Amino acid sequence: MIADTPARRVPASPSRRSERTFYVAMSIAVIAITVFGFGKTWFLRPYFTNPQPLVTSVRVHGAAFTAWVLLLLAQTTLVAAHRTDIHRKLGWMGAALAVFMAGIAIKAALYAVHRDVVCCNAELARGFLIVPVADVLVFSVLVGAAVLDRRDTATHKRLMLLATLSLLDAAIARWPVPGIGDAPLAQYALTDAFIAAAMLYDFASRRSVSPVYVWGGLAIVVEQWARDALGATAAWQSLAAKILE
């Protein structure tokens, strides 16, 4: 028998238990970030003085996204508990929920932007419309790719995690922390820190980073920067004005 040389050795695989624990922990972190960001305006809204009721599209939007982060925790927990049979059945519900989320997110965004165009800074509001549109696009592409690659579990779970992380900036932007709400760079940095954490776990456990994290993470970062630049252009302002008519 010929011994492996250093060049021929296969990188060590992470233990399944460790990897399952990581994805459950990331799911819990996502829920904590979401609750912290939307606590006053959604989860604990009845306990704060806010007499203006939410419109139906915003309420449904909040419920759908809450269901998504809870489903992520349920799915990662089911895998950790070796109940992949239930995981697969819930997966199709998750795919349907993702499609619904995309539609209701755009509807809620149009309502909010139209309201701000009427009452406040029209140019700023029209520029902001690109944020939910771009987020929904990236989220939909990542979830769609995860559904297509559902038989490749390593790729599937990374794509689903990235899809969820791509939405975190909305919650982080609402954190009741000075210097966060009005600082897009800080919001992006905090969002991307969770992507970096996933990549670091990959490297620490596998001695390499999955291309899914490399290209998916890059897509999220590019979207964050590109949407701000595009939102300020005359072309987008004109398109947004027509959409909002």
Tokens found for residue 16: 């399944």
Residue 198 and residue 153: Cα distance in Å, rounded? 16
Residue 35 and residue 54: Cα distance in Å, rounded? 18
So what's the pLDDT on residue 8? 43
**Contact predicate 28/73, CB 8 Å:** yes
Structure-model confidence comparison of residues 229 and 220, the more confident one: 220
Residue 7 has pLDDT above 50, yes or no: no
CA torsion, points 159, 196, 223, 41, in degrees to nearest 10? 90
State the average pLDDT over residues 27-31: 96
Confidence label for 12 from pLDDT (cuts 50, 70 and 90): very low
Q: Which residues have a Cβ under 8 Å from the Cβ of 202 and sit 6 or more positions away?
A: 208, 209, 210, 213
Q: What proportion of the chain, given as a percentage, has pLDDT over 70?
A: 93
State the average pLDDT over residues 93-114: 92
Q: What is the pTM of this model?
A: 0.87
